[in-house]
């Protein structure tokens, strides 16, 4: 077996081990588990402010997505090649049966049109959303990643587009400070505004 094939086999084996471990996990209420960049990450479900922003976002997005083809979801598993993420909110087809993953445990990332994360306090939580999930969502080719980040300066909305799966980067980044409307430029949420109504204290 050549060196590159051996490395690919080891990665595939680790992915399978993590996948089987994730499926077998039984977490206490209030916790969630994701597979991010070769590790299972267990975290608490967000604090009150986190939930308030995510709910404001979902309530505002729902009437904006009026074409009947897309909808906003909270609390679902997004799956890509034995990786699992639970975004705070995602946009996908209104009928999620159109994009099941191969084991019917969640939805396939290939059909997810956008993901939104509300950044939690703490260095580890911030690194997860700002760095590890950013790379993971770009690798999966998810067209739009939006971060609502209370801890970046006085608060910042970061809109990331144009994923490059091979490099695990988003080529297009717009950073908008709280107090200025952040407008989604494309996709099913085109024209949607993330402003004071969503990020206010």
Per-residue pLDDT tens for 118-162?
Answer: 999 999 999 999 999 999 999 999 999 999 999 999 999 999 999
Cα separation, 4 vs 20, in Å, equals: 24
The total number of structural domains in the chain stands at 1
CATH number for the domain that contains residue 121 = 3.90.1570.10
* 172-184: average pLDDT: 98
Structural domain for 101, as ranges: 47-199
In a domain, 10, yes or no: no
* 103-123: average pLDDT: 96
Sign of the alpha-carbon dihedral angle for 145, 149, 152, 158: positive
In a domain, 137, yes or no: yes
In a domain, 33, yes or no: no
In a domain, 54, yes or no: yes
**Bridge partners of residue 35, in order along the sequence:** 40, 84
CA 112, 198, 90: angle at the middle one, nearest 5?
Answer: 10
% of the chain exceeding 90 in pLDDT:
88
Residue with tokens 């970061």: 158
In a domain, 189, yes or no: yes
> pLDDT band for position 2 (50/70/90)?
very low
In a domain, 18, yes or no: no
Task: Report the mean per-residue pLDDT for the chain.
Answer: 93
């Amino acid at each position: 077996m050549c060196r590159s094939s051996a490395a690919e086999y080891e990665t595939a084996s680790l992915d399978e081990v993590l996948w089987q471990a994730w499926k077998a996990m039984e977490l206490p209420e209030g916790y969630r588990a994701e597979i991010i960049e070769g590790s299972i990450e267990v975290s608490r479900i967000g604090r009150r402010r986190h939930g308030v922003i995510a709910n404001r976002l979902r309530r505002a997005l729902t009437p904006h997505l009026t074409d009947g083809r897309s909808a906003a979801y909270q609390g679902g598993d997004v799956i890509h090649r034995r990786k699992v993420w639970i975004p705070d909110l995602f946009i996908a087809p209104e009928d999620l049966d159109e994009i099941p993953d191969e084991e019917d445990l969640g939805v396939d990332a290939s059909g997810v049109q956008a993901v939104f994360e509300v950044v939690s306090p703490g260095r580890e939580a911030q690194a997860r959303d700002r760095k590890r999930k950013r790379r993971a969502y770009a690798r999966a080719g998810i067209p739009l990643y939006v971060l609502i980040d209370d801890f970046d300066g006085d608060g910042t909305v970061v809109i990331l587009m144009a994923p490059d799966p091979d490099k695990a980067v988003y080529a297009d980044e717009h950073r908008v400070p709280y107090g200025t409307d952040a407008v989604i430029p494309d996709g099913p949420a085109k024209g949607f505004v993330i402003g004071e109504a969503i990020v206010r204290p």
